[in-house]
A and B are shown apart, each in its own frame.
Chain A
Amino acid sequence: DAGVIQSPRHEVTEMGQEVTLRCKPISGHDYLFWYRQTMMRGLELLIYFNNNVPIDDSGMPEDRFSAKMPNASFSTLKIQPSEPRDSAVYFCASRKKQVGELFFGEGSRLTVL
């Protein structure tokens, strides 16, 4: 089975631009998580979905961030407008059961100039 697939792997954009990060979870996994990793704050949970429904978005930094999961095989994390402080590596992860290990994608490295 393919693992969690994220795109793009790298994105460089200018402040104010819209950024869309994409994730395809492992087939059959009911849970999908978005994390952000920075040197200062480590791995932060942004939002997670269960069966395509957002369950907890309390980690989303502000209204500029939004996430959707229109179907079981696709999720997006959107930042609009982007700011330099959004520069980070964004990870998507999925899980089959309510409790269990997360399977991570390789991440999307975002640089906002």
Chain B
Amino acid sequence: AQSVTQPDIHITVSEGASLELRCNYSYGATPYLFWYVQSPGQGLQLLLKYFSGDTLVQGIKGFEAEFKRSQSSFNLRKPSVHWSDAAEYFCAVGARNNDMRFGAGTRLTVKP
């Protein structure tokens, strides 16, 4: 079965600084990759997804992610973080067996 690793449990960045959240996956075939964001007390909202094609995908709220097959990675980036970006971020991998597995999440704190 597929699996996802998010190495960073908690990251703190200053407002206006750039952000990169790491995600590594394990899957024997071409994965379907997702990034979700969760604000406190809320469900998960999709930021972006990768199925095929261009390995650099753009999402909502100014986020982007790059699929690197050689590194089994799908890192999330944002050039300039806003205080409203503080939340929990989850990477997920889907497979043709239908289910979707999530990483443990990375909590983002934004310093003023």
**Which residues on A are within 8 Å of B, measured CB to CB?**
4, 31, 33, 35, 42-43, 45, 48, 50, 55-56, 91, 93, 98-107
Please tell me if B110 contacts chain A, counting CB pairs below 8 Å. no
From the candidates A42, A48, A99, A104, name the one contacting B43 in the complex (CB within 8 A).
Answer: A104
Tally of contact residues, B, Cβ under 8 A: 22
List the B side residues contacting A103 at CB < 8 Å.
46
Do A45 and B98 form a contact, CB below 8 Å, given A91-B43, A101-B34, A104-B44?
Answer: no
Q: B residues engaging A (CB < 8 A)?
A: 32, 34, 36, 41-46, 49, 51, 90, 94, 96, 98-105
Give CA–CA (A93, B34) in the complex, Å. 15
Rounded to whole angstroms, the CA-CA distance of A33 and B90 in the bound complex is 17
Is B98 touching A31 in the complex (CB atoms < 8 A)?
Answer: yes
Residue of B nearest to A45 (CB): B99
Q: Are the C-beta atoms of B103 and A56 separated by less than 8 Å?
A: no
Taking a contact as CB atoms closer than 8 A, the residue among B41, B100, B103, B105 that contacts A45 in the complex is B100
Residue of A43, A50, A55 near B102 (CB, 8 A) is A43
Q: What are 26 A-B pairs at a CB distance below 8 A?
A: A31-B98, A33-B99, A33-B100, A35-B102, A42-B103, A42-B105, A43-B102, A45-B99, A45-B100, A45-B101, A50-B98, A55-B98, A56-B98, A56-B99, A91-B44, A98-B96, A99-B32, A99-B94, A99-B96, A101-B46, A102-B46, A102-B100, A103-B46, A104-B36, A104-B45, A105-B43
